[in-house]
């Protein structure tokens, strides 16, 4: 268990064999208390995500999509069932270990960007590397490289309030991917963008994850957005049901 959130060995992806799924959820149940009643959001949910696979997760508002992302990231914990990351049960980890897991091996992209307003674009992107103890020279090289990839080299010194919505989301994507995580979780990443900008951001996210062979779970309510995925699942009545095996609409 100690090796779950350690640095990845050179030439491997987290040390896992290619055959082993990156994420497995088995019988996951999650409830919240509302007033004097228990509200069951997830019911005996099962999920299997392979390394390098792009999964789109659809469902109506309030169906539990964001709850599932939080469970996969170890931000929240299931009431029953288990979630395995790289073969390890993250429910048995303490909060410090789950924090290290997120910091080193998971990237999270939010609908509302969640950039720190007092930091420039480059400083926002550098933050995960600094938290992971990268040397200053390595931080500078990685930040420069990924800002170039997302087309924002000339905006590196701009603060979030000086950036458009599309630029802010590209910074958020760069921040989520700069430490080369195994798993990328994206919660409605185009929800605050116009259609054209959203399509550009999705293409960027798809390309970066594909080139780095990173697994992606993309939460959306749009079949159009889900086109970038290899597989589609719908969250309904607390469990997942399969969509088309391959999204060729």
Domains (range + CATH), the chain: 51-72+94-242 (3.40.50.300)
Among candidate residues 172, 183, 128, the one with its CA nearest the CA of residue 4: 183
> In terms of pLDDT, which residue wins out, 222 or 115?
115
pLDDT tens across 54-100, in order? 999 998 888 889 999 999 999 999 999 999 999 999 999 999 999 99
Gap between the Cα atoms of 154 and 158, Å rounded: 9
Q: What is the pLDDT of residue 14?
A: 46
Among candidate residues 53, 61, 42, the one with its CA nearest the CA of residue 220: 61
Q: Which residue has the tokens 């959203």?
A: 198
Q: What is the pLDDT of residue 37?
A: 82
**Given a cut of 80, is residue 12 above it in pLDDT?**
no
Q: What is the pLDDT of residue 237?
A: 86
Q: Which residues share a beta bridge with 183? A: 106, 215
Name the strand (E) or helix (H) holding 5: none
Q: What is the pLDDT of residue 90?
A: 94
Query: In which band, very low, low, confident or very high, does the pLDDT at 190 lie, cut at 50, 70 and 90?
Result: confident
User: Count of H helices and E strands in the chain?
Assistant: 7, 10
- Name the strands in the sheet holding 88-89, side by side, starting at the edge strand that comes first in the sequence: 37-49, 23-34, 80-85, 88-89
Q: How many residues does the chain have?
A: 249
Q: What is the rounded average pLDDT for all residues in the chain?
A: 87
CB of 198 closer than 8 Å to CB of 225: yes
Query: In which band, very low, low, confident or very high, does the pLDDT at 2 lie, cut at 50, 70 and 90?
Result: very low
pLDDT tens across 21-65, in order? 999 999 999 998 777 788 889 998 999 999 999 999 998 888 889
């Amino acid at each position: 268990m100690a090796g779950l959130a350690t640095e990845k060995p050179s030439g491997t992806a987290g040390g896992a064999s290619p055959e082993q799924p990156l994420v497995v959820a088995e019988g996951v149940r999650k409830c919240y208390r509302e007033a004097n009643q228990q509200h069951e959001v997830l019911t005996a949910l099962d999920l299997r995500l392979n390394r390098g696979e792009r999964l789109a997760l659809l469902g109506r508002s309030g169906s539990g999509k964001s709850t599932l992302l939080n469970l996969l990231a170890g931000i929240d914990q299931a009431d029953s069932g288990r979630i395995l990351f790289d073969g390890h049960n993250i429910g048995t980890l303490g909060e410090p270990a789950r924090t290290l897991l997120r910091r080193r091996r998971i990237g999270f992209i939010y609908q509302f960007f969640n950039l720190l307003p007092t930091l420039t674009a480059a400083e926002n992107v550098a933050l995960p590397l600094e938290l992971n103890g990268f040397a200053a020279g390595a931080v500078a090289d990685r930040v420069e490289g990924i800002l170039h990839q997302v087309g924002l080299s000339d905006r590196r010194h701009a603060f979030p309030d000086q950036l458009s919505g599309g630029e802010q989301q590209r910074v958020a994507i760069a921040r989520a991917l700069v430490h080369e995580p195994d798993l990328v979780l994206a919660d409605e990443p185009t929800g605050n963008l116009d259609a054209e900008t959203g399509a550009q951001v999705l293409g960027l996210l798809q390309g970066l994850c594909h080139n780095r062979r990173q697994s992606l779970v993309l939460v959306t309510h749009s079949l159009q957005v889900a086109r970038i995925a290899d597989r589609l699942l719908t969250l309904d009545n607390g469990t997942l049901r399969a969509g088309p095996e391959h999204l060729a609409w």
